[in-house]
Structures are given as structure tokens and as C-alpha cells.
Amino acid sequence: MTTVPGRLVLLGHPVEQSLSPTFQNAALRHAGLPLRYQALDVPADRVDETLRGLRATRGAGNVTIPHKRVMFERCDRRTDVAERAGAVNTFWHDDEGRLHGDNTDVPGFADVAAPLLLASRGGVTPPTALRVAVLGAGGAAAATVVAALDRWEGCEIRLWSRSLERARALAARFGGAVGAVLRVEDAVGDAALVVNATPLGMLDDEMPCDPLLIRDGAAVVDLVYRREALSRRRPSTAWSRAARERRTAWVVDGLPMLLAQGAHAFQRWFGVTPDATVMREAVWGSRR
Ligand code: NAP
């Protein structure tokens, strides 16, 4: 990026539960940058008006549910990763006022899943025919698929969603390595890496699949986290806790990925890597 942002925001609806302001503001302070990251609750019918204001102030920031797709459409320029994911979660303006979009969920997911998978395999590099199960067929599922295809050459990805049609449509964007399945057990049963990319678990009620379906020793990434149940000792959702207790030690909830995608976004806005420890500790500090 060429222009230091005049404003830094999170666009979503709702946004009050977001942890992004907590760790981004800590990173800004630590880096000595005189900006404040602000969460803006923007309903769908106010996205364009908000973007006009952000263009005038050289605004940059993140995008969360439900605006990642509309932001993709509004951007003048998109990174290759955002193109393939079909969604934008990080944006900024250049000197000419053009709106740029990236998808840092992709490297954020890879940063978290790759070491977890390696650890689950006792440090042995994953095989070329690595099996990955992705539950869900929305924007986060697409980001996960892009990351997996880039990271693990020759991997096979099985998508399961409550709508087979939507899972098929997502699979069709990526070619033969990605297939849609009707039954969740056909995705999860022999997968070495299982990813929850649905919102199930946010309310601590339903689980994306029966944890008993997960193969012994598989790595499990739940993109969901429950803010009120965050703990340094165990993952915060019922599904990820159950997976850890029953089958495997290689389980994380959505917090590590949230921090990782935020660090990649910070790098995009300012050209410098933020302090990961400062960001993480800001989250834990906010819980005291
Ligand atoms: P999305 O585009 O709305 O997609 C959600 C997917 O989950 C869709 O396939 C949807 O199916 C399915 N789904 C929704 N409710 C369901 C239910 N009750 N039962 C079964 N399936 C259901 O959302 P997204 O952007 O992909 O985000 C998914 C989750 O990932 C969210 O909780 C989000 O917060 C989380 N996320 C976390 C991070 C992180 O950094 N930790 C990053 C990105 C996303 P239909 O198409 O049938 O509605």
C-alpha cells in the first residue's frame, strides 16, 4: 500500500462483540501509530454511503459478516487471493482514491492450520493426498479451501453444508480436488484436518458434526470462538472441546485465526508486522 490510512474501521453488522478493536488498537499503540481502530455497525443499505465517507478520509480496515461479498464487488482492485476466495475482509485506498481489497482469512487460516496439522502428524510433512473436511459453504469455507489448495499440494477437500447445492457450487469453483458430499460423515470420517466454517457453536448449542465422527489424531480447526468462554487452557466452543476431550489434542477455536488474519491486515495497511504477543495479550487483558 502507498498511503497511510486516515481512518481505520471494522465494517459489519453487528460488530459490538468483535475483538478486533481490542487487539488492533493495542498493536497501533505499540507501533506508535496515531490512529484508532473503530468498529462501525453498518446495515446493508448503508454500505455505499459509508464507503463514500471512507474514500474521502483515505479509510482502511476490515470487513466482517455480512459485508465481505459486497465489499468484494465494490473494490476497484483485488488481490489474487481475494479473487479466488470471492470475498474481501481487508481494504485500503491508494493515492488515487482507488479501493483495494484482500482476503487475509486465507493466510490467517494457513498460519494456524499448518503447524497444527504438522504437530498432529508428529512433525511429519503431510502426504500429497491429504484429506481435508470443510463444514460450511460460505465465505470462510471458500477462504479455507483457497488456503488448503495453496498450502498442501495434491490435497483432497470434501465440502459438506446443509445445502448440498451450495456446497456443490463452491466446489465447482475449484475443480477436481474439491468435492461436495451429502453426508457429513463422508467428509469428516477419514480427514486428517477438519474445519468448522459454519457459525454453529457461537451460541454453544448445536455442533457442526458429531465429534465422534472425527478420526483419532486428526487436527481440528473451529473458526468459531465464544468470547464469553475464551480460555488459555481449552478451546471455547462445545464442539472443539468435545473433539479435544474425545479424540485429539490438536484442536483450536477461532481466536488464533482471528489474531492471525488481523496481523496480516495490519501488514497490508502499514507495511510493518505488528507485535503478535501484544495483540494476543490485549485479548486476554480485556477479559480480566
Ligand atoms: P457465511 O458466508 O454466512 O457462511 C456460513 C455457512 O454456514 C453457510 O454454508 C451456511 O449455510 C452455513 N450455516 C449457517 N447456519 C447454519 C446452521 N444453523 N446449520 C448448518 N449450517 C449453517 O459465513 P462465513 O463468513 O463463511 O463465516 C462462517 C463462520 O466462520 C462465522 O461464524 C464466522 O464468524 C467465522 N469466521 C471466523 C473467522 C476467524 O478469524 N476466526 C474468520 C472468518 C469467519 P447456508 O448457505 O445454507 O445458509
Contact 256, 109 (CB under 8 A): no
C-alpha 225/C-alpha 205 separation (Å) is 13
**Which residue intervals of the chain bear CATH 3.40.50.10860?**
7-103+256-286
How far does the centroid of ligand 1 lie from the alpha carbon of residue 58, in Å?
Answer: 30
pLDDT on residue 133? 98
- pLDDT under 70 in the chain at which residues? 1-2, 247, 288
Residue to mutate (ligand 1; options 17, 18, 65, 207; most atoms within 8 A of CB): 65
Kindly report, residue by residue over 184-193, the tens digit of the pLDDT. Answer: 999 999 999 9
pLDDT on residue 2? 54
Q: Which CATH class is domain 106-253?
A: alpha beta
How far does the centroid of ligand 1 lie from the alpha carbon of residue 178, in Å?
Answer: 18
pLDDT on residue 126? 84
Q: If you compute the radius of gyration of the chain from its CA atoms, what whole number of angstroms results?
A: 19
Kindly report, residue by residue over 116-142, the tens digit of the pLDDT. Answer: 999 999 999 888 889 999 999 999 999
Nearest residue to 260 via CA among 42, 69, 89, 35: 89
Percent of the chain exceeding pLDDT 70 equals 98
Q: Is 161's C-beta closer than 6 angstroms to any atom of ligand 1?
A: yes
Q: Is 139's C-beta closer than 6 angstroms to any atom of ligand 1?
A: yes
pLDDT on residue 127? 82
Q: Is 183's C-beta closer than 6 angstroms to any atom of ligand 1?
A: no
pLDDT on residue 245? 86
Q: Which three cell numbers stand for residue 78?
A: 483485488
**Whether pTM exceeds 0.85:** yes
Q: Whose CA is nearest to atom 1 of ligand 1?
A: 138
Measured from the CA of 64, which atom of ligand 1 is nearest? 25
**Which residue intervals of the chain bear CATH 3.40.50.720?**
106-253
User: Cell 470462538 appears where?
Assistant: 225
Task: Specify the DSSP class assigned to residue 212.
Answer: G
Give all strands (DSSP E) within the chain, no chain letters.
Answer: 7-12, 37-41, 59-63, 77-78, 90-93, 99-102, 131-135, 156-160, 178-180, 193-196, 219-222, 251-252
Q: Which CATH class is domain 7-103+256-286?
A: alpha beta
